[in-house]
Structure 1
Amino acid sequence: MIYAGSVHRPRLLILYAAYGDGHLQAARAILDALESCGGEGVLVDLLAESHPILYQMTKRFYMHSYKYMPHVYGWVYNRTRPMKHNSLFGGWLHSFGRDTIRRIVALERPDAVIHTFPTFALPSLQHTGRPVLTGAVVTDFDLHCRWVHPRIDRYYVATPDMRKELISLGISESRIVVSGIPLKRGFRNVVPDPRIRARHGLDPVRPLVLIMAGAYGMLEGVPQMLEGLLAHPDTAVALVCGRNEALADSVRTRFAGACAEGRLRVFGYVDHVHELMSVSSCVVTKPGGITLAEALAAGIPICTLRPVPGQERNNALYLESKGAAFVARNKDQLIAEILKLVHDPVRLKNRKKAVAELQTKNAAETIVLDILSRLPIIKGARFGL
């Protein structure tokens, strides 16, 4: 379905929020797939546009509570998980950005609006008249009811289990697509290639453990993990520190010998995660939805250490229940599991089989094609606010 030669190019408004990188990455993946189909799109951080001061305050609170008060964050997440869209709290959350989205829709005149973050100011404005087609892309393996709104036309979810959960909450099955989580172009076809190791200065022979410290390098206990793994001379490690330059510098200094031997390679923020994953035996990571989906797309098992309460812990426990992940209670348990996994071919094969059963291909393209296939129903009408 290519629209490049059409008189009217399909136009999508894609709304996200930059609490972490995941929602923005999903939005960019959808935009890339849309442009490949001849459409055009606009990315908007609705909260940043509508309430910049409040946005900065809540973003700072999110980062600090996540790092220093994880149990507070987890309590709030779990306490609000079953909330209704029309509850006092739910209605208040969805009220942010109403005036801004009204102006943006009038200016951009999109054919559809896609949300990769559950701020549903537009659906809360829609009347019984002709609305813009709306979609919600759930970017986790756990469903918080903030994502559930009766005026969302299409739900795009990671798993059949989430589809069942939405149905149990009253969402029609016909409105739900098990698309997977949209990922950047490099994950469309992840193929291991020995040349990748040489290109990135990785050990050419030893089993490779990939440690992802997160976009802001907040993964707990990275030096201790490295000590335990590098104590075994038959193991190599690639560490991605994200934007945490201090972590990268301290690791290079502390483990200079392993770096010189080629058993440890330290990266900052990278755009070639798909290549690193393709040549790794497993990944150690914070269990954010995007990173987990990337690991599944790459076909590698996942290990995580004491995930933060909230969606990340629930993500990890879900994948562990499917055999695709291991959730460690402490660093010693984590290191022991990693070493058993990467040096036991049968164990590794079984874990990869569980990973493969959860894979979804081309999520961004699935989402875009589903949205575009529904645009003729609109018949050129627009949303009059």
Structure 2
Amino acid sequence: MKVLILSVTAGYGHHAAARAVSDQLLARGAEVKTIDVYQVLSPAVKQTIDKGYRLTARRTPALYRKVYGLAEHPHSGWIDTSGINMIQLFNKLNAAKFQRVLRDFPADLLLCTHVFAAQLVNEMKKRGVLTIPALGIVTDYTLHPYWEDVPCLDWIVTASELLNLAAVKRGLNPSRLLPLGIPIQAKFSQTLNLKEAAALLRLDPKLPTVLIMGGSLGYADSRKIILQLAHSPQPLQILAVCGRNQKQYSQLMKLKAQLKDSCTLYPYGFTDYVDIMMSAADCLITKPGGLTVTEALAKKLPMLLVNPLPGHEERNAEFLVNNGVAVRITRTFPVDEALHSLFLNPQRLDMMRAMMHLLSHPDAAEKLADFVIELGCQNSSEAKELNEGD
């Protein structure tokens, strides 16, 4: 069976989800190819989407929030924005060009980890030039704008069954919804107790350990957070993952030498050992990116949420806080007070972990891969029966 996974470079999550599903499909004997749609169609557009998303979300959050809100509810403002979608127009103009990819890799099924890729596939299926099954994967705890505009995709994979009502209200047929969860790597569902993880990281298992993450690009203001935690009344071990933010990593290495003995800092750059860090930690402080919080849910790691990007990450924060698995840090409820409150309330920590057990789908990638393989077997069987009938 051949599976083509279509992703888009706009943050880390879409590619990470693609990799998680790809690993599971490969393990089941499928032939898998993953491509960035706009790298094929137009590298210039790819760069515009990636850099435009990052710069607008960080530099002009109010504008990005407004645009995102209008895309979510195009009929709610003084102007109807339902027909304004430049990416959709670009996809329509380039659908024929993308057919060459399918000729080079004649897939039996398509997976789309970004709605822009799903729009392209929807256009091709609408024209009748694409007939194979296609699935979309939503990588946040919300239904992003435009997922309701891809009716030709056969199924939409969502983060939770608790999002079904919101999806139906947005116009999706419930029969198309697969609430399997956001696909993550299998290592996050593997059991590793705190003492074992602490030993691997050379930490003191008796001291409270806090993990700070700012996404793959290290967006969180980790230095400010650490300085606030340094005044905590209890000794702390702080693991700070800076991702690819080399400037932040250098700052934290300097800060490490300046901190008092009661607060020990361990800065990291980009690392593949986040699963071990989550197993060693008592709490995660992070911006609420879809993949990061899904990994934390799988590890049953309570979360303090900081600096959400406008739009999808703010929706993630709402979902997690409203379902009792996270605390939102604000200007009037700073991180040191939130952490102190959490650590003094072990019953609440237990309740958060129990809710995480109910919400998490650590085997989402495995279940999705099983669904895809079973679908491929069904299609092969039906094709065989048709050939024998002829």
Tell me if both proteins adopt one fold, taking TM over 0.5 as the criterion: yes
1:353 Cα deviation (Å)? 1.8
Q: Distance in 2 between matches of 1:60 and 1:360?
A: 31
Q: Is the 8 A contact 1:133 1:153 kept in 2?
A: yes
1:112-163 Cα distance to aligned partner (Å, 9 max, x none): 0000011221221114587110000100001123122110101111111222
Alignment of 1:45 with 2:36, yes or no, is: yes
Q: Alignment partner of 2:92: what SS?
A: coil
Of 93, 101, 114 in structure 1, the residue corresponding to residue 111 of structure 2 is 114
Shift of the 357–54 alpha-carbon distance from structure 1 to 2, 3 Å rule, reads same
Separation (CA, whole Å) in 1 of partners of 2:261 and 2:28: 46
Q: What is the distance in 2 between the residues matched to 1:96 and 1:294?
A: 37
Work out the CA distance in 2 between the residues paired with 1:276 and 1:264: 13
Q: Is the 8 A contact 1:259 1:265 kept in 2?
A: no
Q: Which runs of 4+ in 1 moved over 6 A?
A: 259-262
Which of 59, 62, 65 is 2:56 aligned to?
65
Deviations 1:265-311 (A, max 9, x none): 11111111111111211111111111111110110111112422200
| Contact 1:156/1:177 (8 A) holds in 2 | yes
Which letter does structure 2 place at the counterpart of 1:377?
N
- Contact 1:203/1:262, CA 8 A, preserved across alignment: no
Cα distance in 2 between the residues matched to 1:239 and 1:187? 19
Q: CA deviation at 1:207?
A: 1.0
Determine if the alignment matches structure 1 residue 22 to structure 2 residue 23.
no
Paired AA for residue 33 in structure 1? Q
Counterpart of 2:368, as a letter, is: I
- The one-letter code sitting in structure 2 at the alignment partner of 1:225 is I
Q: For residues 78-89 of structure 1, what are the structure 2 equivalents within 5 Å?
A: 78-82=69-73, 87-89=83-85
* Correspondence list, 1:180-259, <5 A: 180-219=181-220, 221-232=221-232, 233-258=234-259
1:178 matches 2:179 = yes
Alpha-carbon offset, residue 53 of structure 1: 1.0
**1:12 aligned counterpart, secondary structure:** strand
Taking the aligned partners of 1:276 and 1:260, their CA distance within structure 2 comes to 21
Aligned-partner residue type, residue 98 of structure 2: I
- Identify the residue that residue 388 of structure 2 maps to in structure 1: none
Change in CA separation of 1:251 and 1:316 when aligned onto 2, cut-off 3 Å:
same
Matching of residue 135 in structure 1 with residue 135 in structure 2? yes
Q: Structure 1 residues 329, 77: closer, same or farther in 2, change over 3 A?
A: same
TM-score when normalising by structure 2: 0.89
Q: Residues 51 and 97 of structure 1 are in contact (CA less than 8 Å); yes or no, is this contact kept in structure 2?
A: no
Taking the aligned partners of 2:200 and 2:71, their CA distance within structure 1 comes to 46
Residue 307 to residue 38, structure 1, CA distance change in 2 (3 Å): same
Displacement of 1:373 after TM fit? 1.7
Alpha-carbon distance change, 328 to 319 in structure 1, aligned in 2, over 3 angstroms: same
**Bigger helix fraction:** 2
Secondary structure at the aligned position of 1:284 is classed as strand
CA contact (8 A) 2:194 2:205 kept: no
RMSD (CA atoms):
2.3
Between 76-85 and 335-344, the greater mean CA deviation after superposition: 76-85
Letter in 2 for 1:24: H
DSSP-derived class of the 2:156 partner = strand
CA distance in 2: counterparts of 1:259 and 1:279, whole angstroms: 22
Match of 1:377 among 366, 376, 379: 379
Aligned equivalent of 1:5: none
Does the C-alpha gap of structure 1 residues 259 and 377 become closer, same or farther in structure 2, counting only changes over 3 Å? farther
For residues 300 and 349 of structure 1, what CA distance do their matches in structure 2 show? 10
Letter in 1 for 2:141: F
Deviation at 1:191, TM superposition (A): 2.8
1:350 and 1:70 mapped to 2: Cα distance? 33
SS of structure 2 residue aligned to 1:265: strand
Instruction: Output the CA distance in 1 between the equivalents of 2:21 and 2:307.
Output: 31
Letter in 1 for 2:195: P
Gaps of at least 5 residues in structure 1 are: 1-9
* Counterpart for residue 145 of structure 1: 145
* Residue 175 of structure 1: how far off its partner (Å): 2.0
Residues 319-360 of structure 1, C-alpha deviation per residue, up to 9 Å, x if partnerless?
Answer: 111011111212752221112213432221122222222111
